[in-house]
Each structure stands twice: as structure tokens, then as C-alpha cells.
Structure 1
Amino acid sequence: MTPRKVLLLGNSYSAAPRVALRNDPGRWPGLQVTVLAMPGNMLAALALEEGRLVPRGDDARYSMGYYNDMTELALAGFDAFAVIGGLSFYTLLPLQNTHRSPDFPSVMRGEACQLISTGLMDAMIRQHMTISAALCTIRLLAGLGQGPVLFMDSLFPSADCWQDGERFDPYIAMAERGDAAAFHARYLRILHEALGSDATYLPQPVQTIVEEVFTAPEWIRGSLRMQPRRDVPHEKTDFGHANPAYGALQVDLIASALAGL
């Protein structure tokens, strides 16, 4: 299809493409993108009423108004949808900190852990995905039958994340054990099953990835907060959000994917 009017829905990870679209609109001629940004898992609080997205509850209503200057959004006229964030490989980390199944590389080498079945590990990942804001939003949009739905999950943590050991040491340890790439492959397999025909998955651009499960720091340094009225940089210790240069790659992927449908 020729990409025309697209609704991009996301959480804080939508800030990068939003700024990229604002800064260089001529890069995507003919692509009209409306961004609906909600913090955290707030996208899951949106409901569909007579062709309009409306917030459920006071918190969601406030967030929709503050971040988007609207309290409802009519979906008529949109040709396609893109969901960014609302699900992250990084958030699966607690599932395997102590409990692993026999197919983990570290377990196959004989490292000690609390052993669980492969089926149980898959079921825990699947449940995590099923209740995520991303999957809830995708199911809502796919049910419209109005146009294709694309999905981009959160990017890998920066390779600089070792500077925040309190938060990222378990992730680094997973990579050093040799489990991270295999666990991510498992995550992707289950994600494709969960998405089914509801959405097309767009993976993180390969040129931004280093050491299999980290993002090259130049795509994260200079990231901006999801602040609708002015550009507010993240702290230098934020190793999880992308900058506008990465956001431009995301919009490139969306435009390319839609052009190929």
C-alpha cells in the first residue's frame, strides 16, 4: 500500500520518532503521522467507542489530555497503525534471574539454577506478553479491520548500561552467561505466535545493535523525554530510550513496511 495517514501509538519510546517527524518531515513525503503518546502502560486503558479511542478512568483521561491535547480520537481516515513500546525484552529479565529451563546455554553447561520446564518458561513469557499494553492495543486496532498494524517493541539497553550496575547488572550477567541471545530468540518466537495475523513485527534495525543484545550508545545518547511542549533531555544515566536519530530509522521502517504491503 502507499503509506498515507498513519496513527502511531506508544509510550515514552514514541518520543524519538515523534521528534524525528517534527524535525525532518520532508524525509517521508506523503506520510501523514499522528502520534498518540501515553506514559507507561496507559495505552491499555484506552477503549474503542463508536470508532473513537477514549480513555477509561481519570488517570488515563488526564494523561491523554496532557500529552496529546485531546480526550478522544476518532479513527476514521487512518490507513494504518503503528504501536511502539508497551512491551520490552528487558522486562522479561526477572523470569530467568534464578529459574531457567534445560535449553538455556548456561544450564546446558551445568551452571546451577532453579530448574523449571521449558513449557513453564514459555508460558510465563506468553502470559507477560498477553497482558502487556502493546498486545492489548494491537488487539484493539486489529479488531477494527481498518488497516495494517505494525509493532516495534522497546530497543535493547545501551552498551553503556554497565555504568548503572544497580539496574543493569542482571542484564549484563545474562549476556555474559551466554543466555541473552538465546532468550531473545525465544522471546521473538513467542512474540510472533502472540501477534499472529494481528500485527507485523518490525525488529530493531541491525545497524544499531552491538554484542547481540545491546544498542550502540550513539543511538541512545541525547534521548528526549515524552514532553509534548518542549524538548527535555533524559539524564545521562538513561540507557534505555532512543534519540531522534534512532526515531528516524523507526519511521523509515514504518514507511518501508507499509509501502511493501
Structure 2
Amino acid sequence: MTKLCMIGNSHVAAMRLAWDKVAPQHPEIDAVIYGAHAKNLVTASVAADSSLRCEGPPFWTFKAGDAPNRAREIALRDFDVAVIVGCDFGPSCVFRTYRRYHFSGLKGRRRQSLTRDMFLRAMMQIINESAAMVLARMIRESAGLPVYLVPTPLPAENGYLDREKANMEPYQAALDAGDGDALMSLYKEGCDRLANRGFNVIAQHESTQASPISSLQSYSDNSVRLRADDDMPHPENDYFHMNEDYGAIMWGRVIETVTSGRA
């Protein structure tokens, strides 16, 4: 049996909602899911016994068939593998870079032109400073666990039609300029660099994508925020959180990856 520790911010809600249905099909996986705001995760500390301790509000904890609970610490040595969900890591990192910079391989003009290598380095800095990577380094250094990363999803299709949503601007700009494929190629190159450092990325499943830079709307509809047994529906103009159908598909990919030891 593989003892799996899953830690995430609001994006872990899709995984949590799906787990009660997925768990009975996978008795070989004993998973505990922990949820917290990303800003609380980056302020967590590691004790001498390799427990990850929350300095802010306690973690939400979920286990299949049990009522939600709260915990101040995660006993990392009780687990075989750690999976980090969301926490500011994903394709959003390359689009955040694109909001500020441009290089000669792109069509859309951004604020400052860089070489491709400099653009890639700027993106990697954003990735390395994300809550996901802060947490991943902390877990590996303190407990020696293999760490896998589940990125935040691509925004849902309808987001590209909403010109009032500020955080959709770089995605819409990439679509308008035809830069989506080039940006996703850079993001995948960044994921390869993480894999070379031992942090494997479990990529969004292709079946959930409407295009290389968008998720199918059906996987975003009826998504919820992580609030334990008091889940709150996302507003219609939240295009970045996914529902339990998405979570079930990603669980399949997570289980296949961690049990085979590859990404």
C-alpha cells in the first residue's frame, strides 16, 4: 500500500470531492488530503521530527469516508510520497511572465523584450518562488519523500470570452496573437527542468482540454472552494477552478504516476 500525502490550496477541492468515489477503486492507495491557503503553506515550518507545522490557520484534513477535520501539523514520515496541488504553480507561471515580457519567437508585443533564454529564466524564477516549490523543497529536504506536482489547470473556455476579467488578460492576449503554442512549449520546458531536479509534474490530462491553452468548460462548471463540509460554489466568472469530474480524471493520473514511479 502506498501512503500518499496530498497538500494543496483551493485547487485541491476538486481532488477532495472526487476522492470518496475514487478511493474504493484503489485500495492500494491510502491518501490523506490537506488543504490551506497558499500563503499559509509558505509560512509552514518543519520540526525536528520532520512534521510540517502550520503557523497560520490549521490545515483542513480529509480521508475517504471520514468527516473533515483540522490539524496543526502533518507527520511527513508517516507517508511514502507527497503530492502538491496548485499552490501558484502551473501554466499560469508562463502567462504571468508573458504579461510582462516578450521575446523574438512571440508575435504579440509585451512591455519588455528579452531573449528566449532570459524569458525562460524569468519564468523559472516565478516557478521557483511559487508556494508549490517552496513546499516541495521543504518536504524533500526534511523528510526525503518523493514529491510530485499537480499544476493549476488551464482556464476554462468561457474565460476567453470575458474581457472584463483581469487575470484572463495574458491568456486572451496570447490567443489573439497566436502565441499559445510557443508559451506552452516554454512551460513544458520548465517542467522538464523541474523533473531533472527530481520534482515531477503530473500534467493536466489532455482529455480535459479544449485547446492547448484552455480547459473544457464542463470541467469548470459547478466547481467549489475548499471549505470542508461547507463548500462554497465559485462565481460563474471563476475560470480556474475545476469540479469533481476533473478531480477524478487527475486522480487516475496521480495514482498511475506515483505507483509506477514516473511522471
CA distance in 2 between counterparts of 1:236 and 1:245 reads: 17
What is the one-letter code of the residue matched to 1:64? F
Q: Which has the higher strand share?
A: 2
CA distance in 2 between counterparts of 1:255 and 1:170 reads: 33
Query: 1:45 aligned to 43, 48, 73, which one?
Result: 43
CA distance in 2 between counterparts of 1:165 and 1:63 reads: 37
Moved more, 16-25 or 251-260: 16-25
Moved more, 24-33 or 87-96: 87-96
CA distance in 1 between counterparts of 2:214 and 2:60 reads: 34
Q: Per the alignment, do residues 132 and 68 of structure 1 end up closer, same or farther by CA in structure 2, a change over 3 Å counting?
A: farther
Q: Per the alignment, do residues 178 and 121 of structure 1 end up closer, same or farther by CA in structure 2, a change over 3 Å counting?
A: same
Determine the structure 2 residue equivalent to 1:72: 73
1:224 to partner: Cα distance = 1.2
Determine the structure 2 residue equivalent to 1:196: 196
What is the one-letter code of the residue matched to 2:176? E
Q: Per the alignment, do residues 121 and 70 of structure 1 end up closer, same or farther by CA in structure 2, a change over 3 Å counting?
A: same
Three-state SS of the structure 2 residue aligned to 1:41 is: helix
CA distance in 2 between counterparts of 1:65 and 1:211 reads: 33
CA distance in 2 between counterparts of 1:253 and 1:113 reads: 38
Moved more, 161-170 or 230-239: 161-170
What is the one-letter code of the residue matched to 2:90? S
**2:99, 2:110 within 8 Å by CA — same for their partners in 1?**
no
Please say if 1:245 is aligned against 2:240: no
For structure 2, list consecutive stretches of 5 or more residues without a partner in the other structure: 62-67
CA distance in 2 between counterparts of 1:198 and 1:184 reads: 21
Q: 1:50-129 counterparts in 2 under 5 A? A: 50-56=49-55, 60=56, 62-64=57-59, 69-86=70-87, 87-97=89-99, 99-104=101-106, 106=107, 114-129=112-127
**2:94, 2:186 within 8 Å by CA — same for their partners in 1?**
no
1:94 to partner: Cα distance = 4.0
**2:82, 2:147 within 8 Å by CA — same for their partners in 1?**
yes
For structure 1, list consecutive stretches of 5 or more residues without a partner in the other structure: none
CA distance in 2 between counterparts of 1:164 and 1:219 reads: 18
Q: 1:152-191 counterparts in 2 under 5 A? A: 152-167=150-165, 168-191=168-191
Three-state SS of the structure 2 residue aligned to 1:134 is: helix
**1:39, 1:63 within 8 Å by CA — same for their partners in 2?**
no
Three-state SS of the structure 1 residue aligned to 2:82 is: strand
What is the one-letter code of the residue matched to 1:178? G
1:216 to partner: Cα distance = 0.5
Following superposition, which runs of at least 4 residues in structure 1 exceed 6 angstroms of deviation?
Answer: none
CA distance in 2 between counterparts of 1:130 and 1:25 reads: 32
Q: Kindly provide the CA deviation profile for residues 23-69 of structure 1, in whole angstroms up to 9, marking residues without a partner as x.
A: 4421222211111111133321122112211123xxx2x24369851
Q: Per the alignment, do residues 195 and 132 of structure 1 end up closer, same or farther by CA in structure 2, a change over 3 Å counting?
A: farther
Please say if 1:4 is aligned against 2:6: no
CA distance in 2 between counterparts of 1:142 and 1:112 reads: 37
Three-state SS of the structure 1 residue aligned to 2:53 is: strand
Three-state SS of the structure 1 residue aligned to 2:104 is: coil
Higher normalized contact order (CA 8 Å, seq sep 6+, divided by chain length): 1
Q: Per the alignment, do residues 137 and 156 of structure 1 end up closer, same or farther by CA in structure 2, a change over 3 Å counting?
A: same
Root-mean-square deviation (Å): 2.2
**2:85, 2:151 within 8 Å by CA — same for their partners in 1?**
yes
What is the one-letter code of the residue matched to 1:51? S
Q: Per the alignment, do residues 127 and 232 of structure 1 end up closer, same or farther by CA in structure 2, a change over 3 Å counting?
A: same
**1:126, 1:194 within 8 Å by CA — same for their partners in 2?**
no
Three-state SS of the structure 1 residue aligned to 2:231 is: coil
Determine the structure 2 residue equivalent to 1:215: 215
Q: Kindly provide the CA deviation profile for residues 148-201 of structure 1, in whole angstroms up to 9, marking residues without a partner as x.
A: 221111000001113432222431221221112211211221232135333221
Three-state SS of the structure 2 residue aligned to 1:210 is: strand
